[in-house]
């Protein structure tokens, strides 16, 4: 059984996750409400893995670096929000994983097993950017698109739909065929659970995807992001 140090401000979450991990099996050797508590714990706690939610504090990543130095074991961030800036910082710190709290228990267990085997696990929708070294801070609206698994092209088409553009106009603006527009439109409707282009336009507006970039053609129809781990 692997031992875990669990750091999260929510006591109820810590207790629930501790019980869940026993079935994996991972045993929580110690739990703390903050990184500071873990750093000053006496005596220092030994474990095979650190599972931590750094919270929203802007200085949290600096303290994560201190924790990595004090406890040189694999560290996985388990947090409630996807932020490309924090992901970039986490990579610089050297974390082995960046996981979301809305994932299933089975996916979490599998991800932690992979980490203990020496693998790195990150959100599937940012994996391609990780592989190519292109992870950069992005606006919250773009993160919304990434969380839905939307490709760059699908996001562009959504912006065109806000303007009420027809498939023919979208194709001309983006330099692709109408048939290609239809394929992308069908895919994005499925991803955002919309039944028609009107609902898709409303979803785009509600999620802050303005039309300002809708006519900027990209040179590739491929997805902006792809996965390397099932987490």
Does the structure show a pLDDT above 70 at 84? no
Under the banding of pLDDT at 50, 70 and 90, the label for residue 205 is: confident
CA distance 35 to 40: 9
Region at 208 (left for phi over 0; alpha for psi -120 to 50; beta for the rest)? left
Q: What is the pLDDT of residues 52-63, one digit of tens each?
A: 998 877 677 788
Cβ(21)–Cβ(27) below 8 Å: yes
Q: What is the pLDDT of residues 9-26, one digit of tens each?
A: 999 999 999 999 988 889
Q: What is the pLDDT of residues 93-107, one digit of tens each?
A: 889 988 888 888 888
Q: What is the pLDDT of residues 131-175, one digit of tens each?
A: 555 554 444 445 455 545 677 788 889 889 888 889 999 999 999
Under the banding of pLDDT at 50, 70 and 90, the label for residue 122 is: confident
Helix ranges (DSSP H) in 96-138: 105-116, 127-132
Beta bridge partner(s), residue 4: 28, 49
CA distance 51 to 8: 8
Residue range 16-41: average pLDDT? 90
- What one-character DSSP code corresponds to residue 121? B
Q: Which domains does the chain have, with CATH numbers?
A: 2-122 (3.40.50.2300), 140-213 (1.10.10.10)
Residue with tokens 């095979």: 48
pTM score, whole prediction: 0.56
């Amino acid at each position: 059984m692997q031992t875990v140090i669990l750091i999260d401000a929510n006591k109820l979450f810590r207790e629930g996750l501790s019980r869940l991990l026993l079935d994996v099996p991972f045993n929580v050797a110690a739990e703390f409400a903050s990184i500071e508590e873990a750093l000053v714990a006496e005596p220092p706690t030994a474990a095979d893995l650190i599972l931590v939610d750094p919270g929203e504090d802007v200085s949290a990543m600096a303290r994560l670096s201190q924790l990595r130095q004090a406890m040189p074991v694999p560290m996985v961030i388990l947090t409630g929000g996807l932020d490309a800036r924090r992901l970039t910082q986490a990579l610089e710190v050297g974390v082995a994983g960046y996981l979301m709290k809305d994932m299933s228990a089975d996916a979490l267990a599998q991800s932690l097993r992979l980490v203990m085997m020496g693998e790195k696990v990150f959100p599937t929708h940012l994996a391609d950017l990780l592989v190519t070294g292109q992870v950069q801070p992005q606006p919250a609206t773009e993160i919304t698109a990434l969380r839905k698994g939307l490709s760059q092209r699908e996001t562009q088409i959504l912006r065109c739909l806000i303007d009420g553009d027809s498939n023919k106009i979208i194709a001309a603006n983006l330099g692709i065929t109408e048939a290609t527009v239809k394929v992308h439109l069908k895919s994005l409707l499925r991803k955002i659970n919309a039944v028609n282009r009107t609902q898709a336009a409303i979803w785009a507006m509600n999620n802050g995807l303005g039309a300002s970039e809708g006519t900027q053609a990209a040179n590739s129809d491929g997805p902006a992001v792809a996965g390397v781990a099932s987490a």
